[in-house]
Structures are given as C-alpha cells and as structure tokens.
Amino acid sequence: MRLERRPFFEPAAVFEAVKAKVEAARRQGETVDYLTFVPDGEPTLDVNLARELELLRPLGVSIAVITNSSLLWRDDVRADLARADWVSVKVDAADEEAWRRVNRPHGGLRLAAVLDGVSAFAETFDATLVTETMLVRGVNDGVGQLKKVAAFLAGLNPSAAYLSIPTRPPAEEGVEAPDEEVVNAAFQIFAEAVPRVECLIGYEGDAFAFTGNVEDDILSITAVHPMREEAVAALLARAGASRAVVEKLVAGGMLAEVEFDGKKFYVRKFARGSRRRD
C-alpha cells in the first residue's frame, strides 16, 4: 500500500490508447457514454490524473472517476477530481473500527480526515456526484451504523447513493453479504436521507431497456431497487400476468419476500457462493 502519489503511465500514451478505443467503438456504431477511470487500484494515486483528464476532454465524451475516497483529504486530489463530469466516492462506514474492517486502509489514514475530504469535495464539485456503500455482514450493516452513514450522505447531497454487497470471491475468508432483509432495511434508511438510492446486488443482464417479459422485468428492477408489494401488483396488472409469476420466482430462489416497517417488499435474491470484500 502507498499514500504518496506518483506517475504510473505517460499521459500521452493514455490518451492515444483511449482515443483508439473510442474511434474503434464509434466505427462499430457503438455509443460511448463515459470514459471511466477505474483502474486496478486507486486512480487518485496517479499524479498525472489531471493531465490525463485534460487530454481526454477533446474526445467529446463525459469523463467519470470512481475513487475509494482515501486521498480526498488532499487539496491537489480534490482539484484533480473537480475536472471530471461524474465522480463516485466510497463511504462504507462512519466509524473508524467498521471502516478499517471493511476497507483495510493504509495505516497512515484516519477516517475523520477522509470524511472531511469527501465533504469538502462535495461542497465545491459542480458536476455529478454519487456515493457507494459496500455492506458486509456483521461489520457495517447494523441499523445504528447505517443511520450514521445515511446522515453523512445527506450532507453530501449526492445525485444517487448506491448500496452494494460482495458479489465476487472475497480476498479474505469469512466475508459475507448481509441477508436480503438487511439490504432492504439499508435501502429504506438511505432513502430517507438521499432522494435516489439504488442497490447493486447482482448481475444486471445484457440489456437495460424494457423487454416485455414480466419475470425478467421484476428481476431486473429488484436487482437495483426493492419493490413494494403494491408496485409489483401494478406491474403484473400492466403485463396481464397473475401473482403466480411472483410465487414462482420466490419458490425458485430468484426473488426474496421481506418486510420493513410493516410493509412487504420484494428483493432480488443474490447468490451466496460468490462474494468478495472491496
């Protein structure tokens, strides 16, 4: 692990490689929505990040950066990120112990400084800011912890807050995703603090448009957003389908029926055998 920024690649080489990819995609008729900095590591460790963003701007594609937030206490990092069009910041916990257990940060980092940096960035960033919170069973998924994180996120006023779970093989033993009931509770708690909350709890499929297949529609929606019983009933009615569709999905282990605050919700059932810690 490192805290000091340094160069990793020549900015000109990054530009040429990205330019070639964008041109190739456009020749195939593909639409490029974003150029995203999400490397095998933390993008803000690259001291040339600002220069790379500047070089890529003439390609005419919006630029996104996904950061773990660990260096946002630095003025230069916040200034570099301010050049992006869309930034995702990681906020997994609001207390030091849970944060260290989930993120395994560098020993020289302190959560208070990181959160102060996130807040400072949110105050001045005038483009799209979103957050991501990874939930780990028994570590940062308690109601008290979730409410603290939600309160912090409310102060950031993000465009969206994403809730995720470990969905790939973990780096360490014993890392597990919380139950569907906990994910749903987290969603409801966050939704009281942030206007838009989405869950990232599984494979979204290859298409993001309406398919006309009510089973696929329910599974796609509940993979990112718990659905109230009434909402599911309305969707079934529009599709001319019966409740047997939902019963089949629940019985088949693809959909979970949970309760929160006296109301029934449906959440996409996620695989238990493929988890990892981020």
Residue-level pLDDT at 227:
84
How far is CA 2 from its chain centroid? 24
Q: For residue 123, which amino acid is it?
A: E
Task: Tell me the per-residue pLDDT of 110-162, one tens digit each, with 9 for 90 and over.
Answer: 999 999 999 999 999 999 999 999 999 999 999 999 999 999 999 999 999 99
Q: What is the CATH number of domain 11-268?
A: 3.80.30.10
What interhelical angle do 111-124 and 96-103 show, nearest 10? 90
How many angstroms separate the Cα of 195 from the Cα of each of 151, 158, 160? 13, 8, 7
The 3-state DSSP class for residue 265 equals: strand
Residue-level pLDDT at 212:
57
How many angstroms separate the Cα of 156 from the Cα of each of 65, 78, 229? 17, 15, 31
Low-confidence ranges of the chain (pLDDT < 70): 1, 39-40, 167-171, 202-212, 224, 260-261, 270-278
Residue-level pLDDT at 31:
84
**Where along the chain do its domains lie?**
11-268
Q: What are the start-end ranges of the H helices in the chain?
A: 11-27, 49-56, 75-81, 96-103, 111-124, 143-156, 180-191, 214-222, 229-239, 244-251
Complete edge-to-edge strand list for the sheet that includes strand 197-200: 34-37, 62-67, 86-90, 128-134, 160-164, 197-200
**227-242: buried (b, 16+ CB within 10 Å) or exposed (e) per residue?**
beeebbeebbeeeeee
